[in-house]
Amino acid sequence: MHLCAHNWMRPEPLEHSLRRLSSLGYTSIELAGEPDWYPVEETRALLQKYNIRCWGTVTIQYGTRDLTAADPAQRRATVQYMKDVVALSAALGGEITTVVPDLGLHVVPVVALLLDLFLLSPPWTIWGRESLALGAGMMFAYWAWLEYCFSQNGWYPYPVLNNMSTTKMAVTCLATAGLIAGNCEILK
C-alpha cells in the first residue's frame, strides 16, 4: 500500500517530517509548493536518507499568489510560481502537482453553507446577547483547542496563526463572535 503524507500545513524542517514519516512506515511525501525551501540536491539527499520518495508538490495560494488578480503582472507571477512548483516536483521524481486554489478551500464551502442557512433553515429564536455569549464561548473554546494542538505538536494547524499575537487572536475571536451574533439577529 502506498502511504503518503503532506507537509504543507506543518511549518517544520523537512528532515523532521521525513524522520517521522519514515518511522511510521510512510513511503512518500507531497511537498509544500515552496521551491525556495527545497534546494533539489539537498532535498533529494534527505529523501534518500529516509527512504521516502517525493510523490509530488502542492501549490500554496496566498498573499500575492492569485490567478484571479486584476493586475496582469501578479497573474503572470502566480503562473510562474506554479511552473516552478511543477518543476520542483519533476526534479525530485514527483508524479503529481496538486493545484489548490483558495476558492475550493474557503469560498465554495462558505457559499454552500450560506445558501443552506438562508434558503433551507428555519428562523432562529436565540437573542443577541445569548448568541454573542454562545459565539464567544465557541471561539474561545476553539482557540483553547488550537493552543493545545500547538503545545502538543509545536505548530498551529493554520500557518497564519504562527504570525498572530495573542492580542490579534483575541480580537479575531471577539470579531467572529460578533459576526455570529449579528447573523443570529439577521436570521430571526
Containing structural domain, residue 17: 4-98
Number of domains within the chain: 2
Encode the chain (188 residues) as per-residue pLDDT tens digits: 777 888 877 778 999 999 999 998 999 999 999 999 999 999 999 999 999 999 999 998 877 888 777 788 998 999 999 999 999 999 999 999 988 765 555 667 777 877 887 787 777 677 777 878 888 888 889 889 888 888 877 777 776 777 788 899 889 888 888 888 887 777 76
Put simply, whether the predicted model's pTM sits higher than 0.85 gets the answer: no
131 plus 164 within the same structural domain: yes
15 plus 89 within the same structural domain: yes
pLDDT, position 92: 97
- 55, three cell numbers: 510523490
From 39, 64, 98, the end of a domain falls on 98
pLDDT, position 150: 83
pLDDT, position 44: 97
pLDDT, position 103: 58
Are 58 and 30 in contact by the 8 Å Cβ rule? The answer is yes
Q: Is 114 within a domain?
A: no
Are 121 and 87 in contact by the 8 Å Cβ rule? The answer is no
127 plus 94 within the same structural domain: no
H/E element holding 6? strand 4-6
pLDDT, position 121: 74
Amino acid code (one letter) for 165: S
Most distant CA atoms of the chain, gap in Å: 61
* Residue 5, φ and ψ in degrees, nearest 5: -135, 165
Amino acid code (one letter) for 100: V
pLDDT, position 177: 83
12 plus 83 within the same structural domain: yes
Beta bridge partners of 5: 29
Are 38 and 88 in contact by the 8 Å Cβ rule? The answer is yes
Domain at 29, CATH number: 3.20.20.150
pLDDT, position 66: 80
From 29, 64, 98, the end of a domain falls on 98
The Cα 178–Cα 188 span in angstroms is 16
